[in-house]
Amino acid sequence: MKKKGVGIGSTFYGTGYGNGFPDVSRAKAVLKEDGKVAVHVGATEVGQGSKTIMSQMAAEVMSIPLNDIIFICEDTKNMPDSGTAAASRQTYNTGNAIKLACEDLRKKVIENAFKELKLNSSVGLTLKNGEIYLKTLPSKNISLKELALCLLKNKELPLIGEGSFTAQTIEMDEETGQGAPYWPYTFNVYGVIVEVDTETGLIDIIKAVCAQDVGKAINPEMIEGQMDGGFAMGLGYSIYEDLGLKEGKMKNKNFTNYLIPTALDVPELEKFIIEDPESTGPFGAKGIGEPVMLGVAPAVLNAIYDAVGVRITQVPVTPDRLLRALKEERRE
Amino acid sequence: MKREIVGKRAIRVDGHSKVLGKAEYPQDIQKQSMYHGKTLRSKKPHAYFKLNIDKAKNLKGVIAILTAKDVPYNHHGVLFKDHEIFCTNKVRRVGDPIAFVVAENEKIAKQAVEFIEIEYDEIPGVFDPIKAMEQSAPIVHKESNILYHYKIRKGNIENAFKQCEVIVENEYRTGMVDHAFLQPESGIAYMDENTVVVCASSQYPHFDQIEIAEALNIPTENVRVINPAIGGAFGGREDITLQIHIALATKLVGKPVKTTYSREESFLAHGKRHSMIMKYKTGANRQGKLVAMEANIIGDTGAYASWAPNVLRKAGVHATGPYEIPNVKVDSYAVYTNNPFAGAMRGFGAAQGPIAYEQQIDEIGRKLSIDPITIRKINGFKVGSETATGQILEASVPYIQCIESVGKALGLEQKEGIR
């Protein structure tokens, strides 16, 4: 018999290394001779999209097109240490460092522009759409490209902005665990409707909904991508992935028998991006890389209970495990 | 404030090259006259061993075979240096690296690995973390198998449980899982004058640089790490794998050395998500307000520590779930066994707890006839809430908003239809 059930899984997640460990990101923003800006940062692009959203942050501060940001994050020879691409910390930590570095460069650009424009002060000068101009007299202007050429001629390139950000984290008391270990906290809620086949033990996800707190979305498309990926990984954790570990040996160590969800196993995910800016985050943003997968497994387990009235306390809920639990329930 | 680019659906800056197959992953990198490496790994979970490489060494096309004695500093690890680069005389898990063959091509390297004679003297292993905590258990490293214990003591749970209308107790278990990232580990190392250059996918190239330099006993500035395109990580590329092997090899033979893992070797090489055994006791008053919670969490870190203290700490800090609970007692432990080692993986200790605390709160609600949305709204964090560690959530706490969005989309809002 096929039985339907609904379940909720809600979670929170503290960003960063935590517990007082120095959590530092560094960044450098460099004005190039063609007016483009190179961002040097040790934040690894592992597929999560850091290169894109951090380029967006830099482009926003420098007020230049996204294509004019050259993002360099591949070589220890030419990038500062920005910590590990983990703990959902890059958007928040390194994002802040990049924002600071670009703000520093922006200030230096304006200072140099007022000299080139032969004004007596930088007051009222702004940088927008690649142009530095006087707000009260826009005809007093110079483009970033022109400025870069002037600086090159005067041997004043490269112009470098620097930024460093250290997250707030406080070591907890050893006996009571009291303290402020992480910041910020990010919230995630999943809801799923499952269909359980009580004869085969197979579980189908009929519908899935995700609400993800992001602080502020730097790129909604990428957040939605993370939600899809997080859901698939969480689903694998809930009902498929099993190493077949016995006496320290993995039986399942390739994709023939270590099953991960395929596109056919994953339903269309209804997504809600919840914005509530975090004042210490870059543009209000928080990291979401890990949070997006946390609520899936509990939602599936609660939905299984709603469908068949049996609490499964162990993941993955393989057909075997589910049928055994149903049998035990009947016996009782 | 109006933003021009932040908040926009900009197209992935590295998207084009990846979609068109132009992005260069470590496996794509070829160097002239490069050699190939292959790792010999332990087939036993706990054993002493003796090695004879003579037969393998004499195979035509074998350039070198690296073992423990070729490593200036034979230790690595993100927190404690408890991994050996190549095991000296004892293996602690299936998959432990023992030797690295450098040969003219992959085929010869593979063959030579099979020609290495290894004699195991097996010793009893421990595979159940609860048994590993007992005094009589086989010891995986030195001293105790209990490597870390984190505690929360907040309020008074004994008194608080006495005042509860409902109490729910259960034990939950999660298994170890693999990151299953798309791109199995691959890397190539070469010499650039005095500098060892290592191209391999990493989550933290600056840390790899330090660990490579330490193992080779050369200055950090003489190691350069290049991070080509990376096919996923999810925490599985935090502990170093092949980087030191190929760095040692290229320094020894003077030519580029490349190695690429198969999917099976990838499973053997990197860490897993910690399996956990979580005992929970949760109590609430008649109105559904959570009053007390006690949790005992045991995390199996397998043969090596990797990030275990930090992971079990995170598990402990997040044990309550996103709920205000005034009386909390948590004990979380990280324990060595002879299982595959566990390390960082998406969630980092906060992925297992939800399986327990979210079923606990549903059970509490069910016993009090309060629906899952309402019970969460009664207890959920909001601005000004205090966590179990005494931290005040002073801003950006849209938990209730998240719950309401999901409830509404599923048609659950204000209904009491589901159990």
DSSP B152-193: EEES-HHHHHHT-SEEEEEEEEE-------SS--EEEEEEET
Residue in B13, B174, B381 closest to A71 by CB: B13
- A183 exposure class (CB count in 10 Å sphere: 0-12, 13-18, 19+): buried
Q: Under a CB-based contact definition with an 8 Å cutoff, are residues A285 and A223 in contact?
A: no
Check B178 against A245: CB less than 8 A apart.
Answer: no
Residue A242 domain-assigned? yes
The reply to whether A239 and A136 lie within a common domain is no
Residue in B338, B348, B372 closest to A248 by CB: B338
pLDDT at residue number B417: 45
Determine the 3-state secondary structure of B113 from DSSP.
helix
Between positions 203 and 222 of B, the ones with CB within 8 A of A are 203-207, 209
Residue A63 domain-assigned? yes
The reply to whether A113 and A132 lie within a common domain is yes
The reply to whether A144 and A196 lie within a common domain is no
Residue A47 domain-assigned? yes
Residue A314 domain-assigned? yes
Check A295 against B313: CB less than 8 A apart.
Answer: no
Which of A128, A163, A198 terminates a domain? The answer is A163
Check A302 against B238: CB less than 8 A apart.
Answer: no
Check B235 against A86: CB less than 8 A apart.
Answer: yes
Residue A285 domain-assigned? yes
Give, rounded to a whole angstrom, the gap between the first and last alpha carbons of chain B. 45
Average pLDDT over residues B233-259: 98
Chain B positions touching A281 (Cβ under 8 A) are 396
The ranges assigned to domains in chain B are: 129-177+272-409
**Residues of A labelled as active-site residues:** 290
Report whether pLDDT(B413) > 80: no
pLDDT at residue number A124: 95
Report whether pLDDT(B418) > 60: no
Tens of pLDDT, residue by residue over B135-150, are 999 999 988 999 999 9
Beta strands in A15-46 (DSSP E): 24-31, 37-41
Residue A132 domain-assigned? yes
Distance from CA of B60 to the nearest CA of A (A): 32
Residue A223 domain-assigned? yes
Tens of pLDDT, residue by residue over A218-229, are 999 999 999 999
Check B4 against A63: CB less than 8 A apart.
Answer: yes
> Residue B107 is which amino acid?
K
The reply to whether A100 and A227 lie within a common domain is no
The reply to whether A286 and A209 lie within a common domain is yes
pLDDT mean across residues, chain B: 97
Question: Parallel, antiparallel, or unpaired for β A159-166 and A24-31?
Answer: antiparallel
Neighbours of B109 (CB within 10 A): 25
DSSP A284-325: G----TTHHHHTHHHHHHHHHHHHHS----EES--HHHHHHH
Using 50, 70 and 90 to split pLDDT, how confident is the model at B1? low
| Distance from C-alpha of B82 to C-alpha of A178, rounded to nearest angstrom | 29
Average pLDDT over residues B96-102: 98
The reply to whether A320 and A204 lie within a common domain is yes
Report whether pLDDT(A147) > 80: yes
Determine the 3-state secondary structure of A116 from DSSP.
helix
Q: Residue A54's domain is classified under what CATH number?
A: 3.30.365.10
Average pLDDT over residues B219-228: 97
Report whether pLDDT(B419) > 50: no
**Chain A residue closest to B327 (CA)?**
A176
A58: tokens are 């830099």
Average pLDDT over residues A145-163: 96
pLDDT at residue number A330: 86
| Distance from C-alpha of A74 to C-alpha of A78, rounded to nearest angstrom | 8
Between positions 73 and 102 of B, the ones with CB within 8 A of A are 93-94
Average pLDDT over residues A173-202: 98
Identify the domain containing residue A69 by its residue range.
25-163
The reply to whether A210 and A114 lie within a common domain is no
Tens of pLDDT, residue by residue over B355-391, are 999 999 999 999 999 999 999 999 999 999 999 999 9
| Distance from C-alpha of B321 to C-alpha of B329, rounded to nearest angstrom | 13
Chain B positions touching A47 (Cβ under 8 A) are 230-233
B2: tokens are 């109006």
Check B233 against A217: CB less than 8 A apart.
Answer: no
Tens of pLDDT, residue by residue over A308-324, are 999 999 999 999 999 99
Residue among A189, A207, A226 with most chain B CBs within 10 A, to mutate: A189
DSSP3 helix / strand / coil % (chain B, rounded to 5) = 25, 25, 45
Residue A170 domain-assigned? no
Tens of pLDDT, residue by residue over B68-96, are 999 999 999 999 999 999 999 999 999 99
The reply to whether A35 and A102 lie within a common domain is yes
Strands of the sheet with A2-14, listed across from one edge: A2-14, A185-197, A203-215, A269-275
Q: What is the torsional sign of CA B261, B78, A229, B280? A: positive
pLDDT at residue number A331: 84
A90: left (phi over 0), alpha (psi -120 to 50) or beta: alpha
Class of domain B129-177+272-409: alpha beta
pLDDT at residue number B414: 56
pLDDT at residue number A332: 78
The reply to whether A157 and A190 lie within a common domain is no
Determine the 3-state secondary structure of B248 from DSSP.
helix
Residues of chain A above pLDDT 70, percent: 100
Q: Write down the pTM of the prediction.
A: 0.97
Q: Under a CB-based contact definition with an 8 Å cutoff, are residues A274 and A287 in contact?
A: no
Report whether pLDDT(A39) > 50: yes
Using 50, 70 and 90 to split pLDDT, how confident is the model at A263? very high
The reply to whether A321 and A205 lie within a common domain is yes
The reply to whether A117 and A224 lie within a common domain is no
pLDDT at residue number B30: 96
Residue among B358, B385, B394 with most chain A CBs within 10 A, to mutate: B358
Residue in A86, A212, A313 closest to B173 by CB: A313
Beta bridge partners of A39: A29, A71
Residues composing chain A: 332
Average pLDDT over residues B399-418: 83
